[in-house]
Structure 1
Amino acid sequence: MARRKKERLLRQQPDHRANRTILIRTLILMGIFGVAVFVPLFFQLWKIQIQDYDYYRGLVADQQTKDSTVEANRGTIYDSNGVPLALSATVYNVQLSPKEIIQCQENYKEKVEQAEKNGKDPPDYPEPTNEFIAENLAEILDLEVDDILARLAKENSLYEMIKWRVEPEESEAVEQFITENHISGIYLMPTSKRYYPKGSLAAQVIGWVNPNLGEGAYGVEALYEEELAGETGRVVTAKNGVGTEMLYWFEDYYDATNGDDLTLTIDATIQSFCESILKKGVEQFDVQNGGFCIAMDPNTGEILAWANSPTYDLNDPWAVTDPVLSQYLESVKNDPSTSEEAYAEALGNTQLQQWRNKAINDTYEPGSTFKSIVLAAALEEGVVSESDHFYCSGSVMVEGWSDPIKCSYTPGHKDQDLATAVANSCNPAFVAIGQRLGAEKFYDYLEDFGFLEPTGIDMQGEYDTSSLIWPRDKFTNVNLATASFGQRFNVTPIQLITAASAVINGGHLMKPYVVSQVTDASGNVLQYTEPTEVRQVVSEQTSARCREILEKVVDGGTGKNAAVEGYRIGGKTGSSETLVEGHTIVSFLGFAPADDPQVVILLAYDAPKPASPGANTTAGGWYISGGNMAALMASELLENILDYMGVEKTYSSTADVLVPNVTGKTLADATAALKKNNLTLRTVGDGDTVTGQIPAQGASIPGGSEVVLYMGEQAPTDQVQVPNVVGLTLAQAQKKMTEAGLYLKASGASGYSTSTAYEQEVAAGTSVDQGTAIEVRFTDSAASGAGL
């Protein structure tokens, strides 16, 4: 009995081991469950707070703040004298916030209701309905009402840009509209816009900024993008839960850093001279494919001017204004078979054509202008001298070529010394000079003068012509012959003018450049371009001999139309006959003063239009050659440049003089004063004292001219009409002007018996004072020939 009771008691005692086992299992299960539940939670917290911290921080910032960019002002581009050619100014983007405008409209309605309830007057400005806002903004900004209404219909939107970069006149009108009508939700966001004060001046050099990307698209605007662009700034402001800006709650401003400024070597005045003369020649000679004109300092490599045709307005680079290109586009547009896609393609190609810098992106056969290079090489090597003679029968046979190579002067120049052969631009003579040099030496000078490598100028898209010139091992005797007068190989204009500078500057091949310095906003110079000599090609002595010989090209040779009274001009004409029938590129390479060159120019007109297929003159009667076209225009250009540069003239007996004041003097004193100024006189009347004179004091007339003195009588004050002297010889024009009581100031090639007037400064029929000097430009029509 007692035993059973004991066993019963033992069975009733708890099993502690089992309980511990259950407890342990329970704790393990709870731990596992806890880990399973909380580890993903901890991972998610880690992911949010650490891994994706920047992302969620950005979301918070986006919900609580508005971040707007502030564009940096792009650096200014100046010419060499500090004249702004490209600059940026603050303009504004007009932005709508439809969500805020809805709130503005509700606020207006509440004010009206409150006013009615309190018996007060309603707001004294119109209700800002969508229609009211759209109609007014459309009128101010020249937009469509429906387009603005479509933007306003996006009621949950906070940012709807309706117009980019509006001018100050428009932005001020928008601001006035906002203020007068108490409208919120219309914003003027500051930005910058690129302006080109000189319009098309140096367009292909400067380039333009793509407004959609805010980056330079062409020219130095693109090449110096990093320097010009600057760094964008930021404006951070707080906004409430519905996205409305709280302008005075929080604002943080990060200044934009303006771009650096560029100073170019381009002189805006010389640039305008080059562009004007290029345009004048294109129109006068009916040129079909534009042209180019470069002016360079031969001693440093600085580009003083760089003009291209066709060109465009930098402020509207997509507009096509060139007459030839516009006519082409019009013909495409009016063609019934032209689709929209075809017209768009034609427009795009035309725009690309006007944006191209022909003098660096394109190549051409240099023609006879290249003879200056051959002359320098031959003199340097000692294979020719000034005493050498060359015979020209009108053509020459070259081994390896079955046809004769013709001279531009088909009867032949006969016997001529070196200087005369150069002045005549004689092809057979230069074939002989090339043969004396030999293929190896000739090719060496092609390399030394830089024709087998880019010049390295700081401009976009320089064409590498090395593939356009024969390899040395394939440079045959025939190639040598044609290359000797600049045909059947291509160079860039910038290569040619750079090489020609080495011919006349003492033999130094200089690296050309356009940007002289980069400065920051405070004027500190960050980068400065020093003139760089690539190599010495020929000696100082050879260069001096070349200058002397090339001066004779203008003084009586094929370049006589480039002559300028009072200045010593040297140069070489060129007429490049391309492989396309009727397509000739006429050019003139000139430098001045001939004894100490300060400027070298290369002027070319691409494809003057023949009057008919196979004709050698234009419809206007101009003989298609470098001597009759490019040299003629170069005369006016060089005169303008040299006058502007202040180069001193060498006066001749017929050089212009100023008329002194002799009124009130005795005849003897007046005669002495006029004689001192190289002027003669004629008297009217029999008084003892001069009572009037024609021309008046200070008039500029040619030396040796006759001044009319009125003795005891008053000088007549009635005006006279200018006669038409175009087409007359110098003597005929002089007589006609004298008969009209006027003076003739002759310029250009006026000193030759075959010279005729082609242009007069004052149009025929214009009324002017008696004694007025009328400038008349002359050309020598004998300066013709396809090889000139």
Structure 2
Amino acid sequence: MAPISLGDRIRQFSLKSLLVTEPSNTRLIWVWGILLVGILGIMGNLYKLQVQQGPVLQQKAREQQQFKARTYAPRRPIVDRNGQILAIDRPAYTLYAHPILFKERPEAIAQALSQPLNKPPAELLKQFRRRESGIQLAYDLSEEVARRIGGLHLDGLELTPYQQRLYPQNNLLAEVVGYINLDRQGQGGVEASYQTFLERSTQEAWVNRAGNGLILPDRLPENFLETDEQQLQLTLDSRLQRVARSALKQQLETYRAKRGTVMVMNANNGEILSLVTEPTFDSNVYYKSELELLKNWAVSDLYEPGSTFKPLNIAIALELGAIRPNSVFNDEGQIVVDGWPIQNHDFSTNGGRGALSITDILKYSSNVGMVHIMRQIPSETYYTWLEKLGLGTKSGIDLPGEAASQLKERSQFIYSPVESATSSFGQGFSLTPLQLLQMQAMLANGGFRVTPHVVKGLVDPQGQQHFSPPIPPPEPVFSPQTTQTVLGMMEKVVTDGTGQVAQIPHYRIGGKTGTAQKAHPQGGYYERARITSFVGIVPSDPFLSQNTPRYVVLAVIDEPQGEDAFGSTVAAPIVKSVMEALITLEHIPPSTSQ
């Protein structure tokens, strides 16, 4: 066979190349065609997504990645006059289970949760079987328990945080502090009346979150977590409140009484240092209490004060010049006014006492003597003065639910002699215990009507005042001479009269007992029910400096049981216990003369 020349080889290679090149170009064209179609498809889809559906998808993405939230701002704390925490917000958690997302056996998860939740595994398994998702396993979990559960790293569990209101003193000041509902709105006490000051002002802001729903802390708006440190400070003293509650509860149990209240007020400026009602409730679990206990009846309920109102009537008569401090009236023991019999509480045992001075009328709590005193004043003038004291209005305290006192219609009072007669010894009209406290303060502070209040204002931890509630200025009602005269008479009640149990060695104290029939809502009076009370003023030294405070302490006991249940036996011992604590806490010096 002849060898193939180089030229033949070149020609053969060229021919093969031509034969191969033709199908390769076709394949290349197909590839480029497919790529072109794909590119056109992608571009079309991008056009559809970015142009046609762009606004809709952008909105959906924003909803997934961002949400509008209010600036985090816990409710302001409430503290007493000494900075003791009475109410504060704390983080709490609700635990939900989603069994459909469990990666472990339900039995294993129940066993792991049993200890931190303090629940038997069997009970948790029973809850898991209720449904596939959204099962509430626990509510009100503390941060520590939530941290332990989170540390288990179990799929299918969800811890939802929220702010919980905590009241560390439980029921100690519940009637003043109040409580908040599930919507974090105040429903009683200063939680309600100072809602706008306790709920910090917040602003809405867009917050970013990751794909798993967690907030991205590095993308939070500036100042999102910043809050001021201001606290709502009360005028109340937790230490005095504790003493008052203990003394009140003891007497309520001893005399099987329905309820009672004790209050302490600085007569100079109207600051309430203690306000106790029993029975009461725990602000942390207010929903477990009877509805009746959630109101502050010392502020909301009316009663007829009885003999504790007599010093105020004497002050009216002295101020008008209708009597003099040394005036004398005959006490027959019982009289008839416009067909109505009126007698002294001790008429059956002591009969008529004869000629009595004004001091003796107060000391012996003579109803007949008081009728004679107030007869010296025209009924219309007397009615005007009762209005001047504040009857028919409210005290103006900064607590919700206050009731206005009630006084008969002017025409009825003026033209019915028995109305003036019964009013002279504190019956026939009604007021709240708080309003009686306010009126008694006039006798202690030189004759001024002051507005009782329980809030000092907003303060920071350094004691700087940022807000003070507007308090009306004191309003003159009696002259200082009149009030000092009456206060001296009230001292005799404690040293020689019905209030002797309230005596405290080395201190001058003014006081007045009260034992009144309990008015029936349908008219008239209950046959056996009574309300006992005692008001004490300390110190009652004459001519104290203007800056030296006097304190008024009032105890009112509703329906005490027993033949010996009087203001002197039931209420006066409570006031004495509270005054003894007050002397220590406020560093009241002994009287210079007695």
- Where on the TM-score scale, by shorter chain, does this alignment land: which range? 0.7 to 0.9
CA-CA distance at 1:380 after TM superposition: 0.3
| Matching residue of 2:27 | none
Report if aligned partners of 2:532, 2:556 keep a CA contact under 8 Å in 1.
Answer: yes
Assess if the C-alpha contact under 8 Å between 1:300 and 1:532 holds in 2.
Answer: no
Which residue pairs with 1:490 in the alignment?
430
Distance 1:530 1:646 in 2: 28
Q: Which residue of 2 aligns with 1:525?
A: 465
Deviations 1:466-498, CA, capped at 9 Å, x for gaps? xx3101121121111001100121101111111
Distance 1:632 1:219 in 2: 28
Distance of 1:512 and 1:652 partners within structure 2? 30
Kept in 1: contact 2:237–2:273 (CA 8 A):
yes
Give a deviation string over 1:166-217, Cα, whole Å, max 9, x none.
1234223212322xxxx3453434332222222211210001122x222222
Q: Is the 8 A contact 1:553 1:571 kept in 2?
A: yes
For 1:396, which of 335, 342, 345 is the aligned residue? 335
What's the C-alpha RMSD, in Å, of the aligned pairs?
Answer: 3.0
Which of residues 583, 586, 593 is equivalent to 1:645?
586
**Contact in 2 for aligned 1:74/1:259 (Cα 8 Å):** no
Deviation at 1:48, TM superposition (A): 9.8
Residue matched to 2:408: 470
Any idea what SS the aligned residue of 1:429 has?
A: helix
Equivalent in the alignment of 1:317: 286
Q: Work out the CA distance in 2 between the residues paired with 1:294 and 1:146.
A: 53
Change beyond 3 A, Cα 1:57–1:163: farther
Q: 1:271 aligns with which of 212, 237, 241?
A: 241
The corresponding residue for 2:323 is 384
Q: Secondary structure at the match of 2:220?
A: strand
Return the offset for 1:581: 2.0
Q: How does 1:253-272 map to 2 (within 5 A)?
A: 254-255=224-225, 257=227, 260-272=230-242
Aligned equivalents of 1:409 and 1:81: distance in 2? Answer: 46
CA–CA distance in structure 2, aligned partners of residues 407 and 247 of structure 1: 76
196, 207, 230: which one aligns with 1:226 = 196
1:194 to 160, 165, 173: 165
Aligned length: 522
- What is the one-letter code of the residue matched to 1:460? P
Check 1:527–1:231 CA distance in 2 against 1; reply closer, same or farther (3 A cut).
closer
Residues 523/600 of structure 1: CA separation in 2 closer, same or farther (3 Å cut): closer
2-structure distance, mates of 1:63, 1:269: 53
Alignment-derived partner of residue 42 in structure 2 = none
Post-superposition offset of 1:313: 2.0
Structure 1 residue 562 corresponds to structure 2 residue 506: no
5+ residue gaps, structure 1: 1-44, 106-127, 321-350, 611-616, 618-622, 654-788
3-state SS of paired residue (1:473): helix
Q: Report Cα offsets for 1:103-141 as digits up to 9, x if no partner.
A: xx3xxxxxxxxxxxxxxxxxxxxxx23343244335432
- 1:430 aligned to which of 370, 383, 392: 370
**2: distance between equivalents of 1:557 and 1:145?**
68
- TM-aligned CA distance change 1:545 to 1:57, over 3 Å: farther
Please state how far the C-alpha of 1:61 moved relative to its aligned partner: 2.8
Shift of 1:71: 5.1
Bigger shift: residues 353-362 or 227-236: 227-236
Match of 1:129 among 101, 105, 115: 105
Q: Distance in 1 between matches of 2:352 and 2:378?
A: 24
Q: Partners in 1 of 2:490 and 2:214 — Cα distance?
A: 76
Task: Choose the corresponding residue for 1:153, options 110, 116, 132.
Answer: 132
Instruction: Mark the CA change 1:640 to 1:523 in structure 2 (over 3 Å): closer, same or farther.
Output: closer
What is the identity, as a one-letter code, of the residue corresponding to 1:283? E
Residues in 2 aligned to 1:147 and 1:533: alpha-carbon distance in whole angstroms: 64
Matches within 5 A, 1:367-378: 367-378=306-317
Instruction: Quickly say closer, same or farther: Cα 1:416–1:248, change in 2 above 3 A.
Output: closer
Q: Is 1:88 the counterpart of 2:89 in the alignment?
A: yes
Does the 8 Å CA contact 2:335/2:341 hold for their aligned counterparts? yes
Instruction: Letter of the 1:471 partner, please give it.
Output: E
Residues 362, 372 of structure 1: CA spacing in aligned structure 2 closer, same or farther, 3 A cutoff? same
Percent same amino acid among aligned pairs? 30
Structure 1, 137-146 or 368-377: larger mean CA deviation: 137-146
- 2:380 maps to 1:440: yes
The CA distance in 2 between the partners of 1:540 and 1:209, in whole Å, is: 44
TM-score (norm 2): 0.81
Letter in 2 for 1:576: A
Match of 1:409 among 338, 346, 355: 346
* Aligned counterpart, 2:6: none
Local SS of the residue matching 2:256? coil
Take 1:651 and 1:524, find their aligned partners in 2: how far apart are those partners? 36
**Paired AA for residue 166 in structure 1:** L
CA distance in 1, matches of 2:286, 2:384: 43
1:580 matches 2:559 = no
Amino acid at match of 2:280: T
Higher relative contact order (CA 8 A, sep 6+): 2
Q: Amino acid of the residue matched to residue 447 of structure 1?
A: E
TM alignment of 1:329-348, pairs within 5 A = none
Q: Retained in 1: the 8 A contact 2:539–2:591? A: no
Q: Look up the equivalent residue of 2:344 and give its one-letter code.
A: C
The residue number in structure 2 matching 1:298 is 267
Q: 1:66 to 1:444 in 2, by over 3 A?
A: closer
Say if 2:117 is the partner of 1:141: yes
**Aligned partner of 2:533: which letter?**
S
Partner of 1:282 in structure 2?
Answer: 252
* Separation of aligned partners in 1, 2:458 and 2:561: 43
Query: TM-score, normalised on structure 1?
Result: 0.62
Other-structure match for 2:485: 545
Cα deviation for residue 523 of structure 1 reads 6.2
Q: Specify every segment of 5 or more residues in structure 2 that has no aligned partner in the other structure, as ranges.
A: 1-49, 519-524
CA distance in 2, matches of 1:549, 1:387: 11
Offset of 1:319 from its aligned partner?
Answer: 3.6
Q: Return the offset for 1:67.
A: 6.7
- Cα deviation for residue 247 of structure 1 reads 6.5
Distance 1:73 1:437, change over 3 A: same
Match status 1:605 vs 2:561: no
Q: Which amino acid aligns with 2:435?
A: Q
Is this contact kept in 2: 1:148–1:162, CA < 8 A? yes
Match of 1:252 in 2: 220
Following superposition, the deviation at residue 250 of structure 1 comes to: 8.2
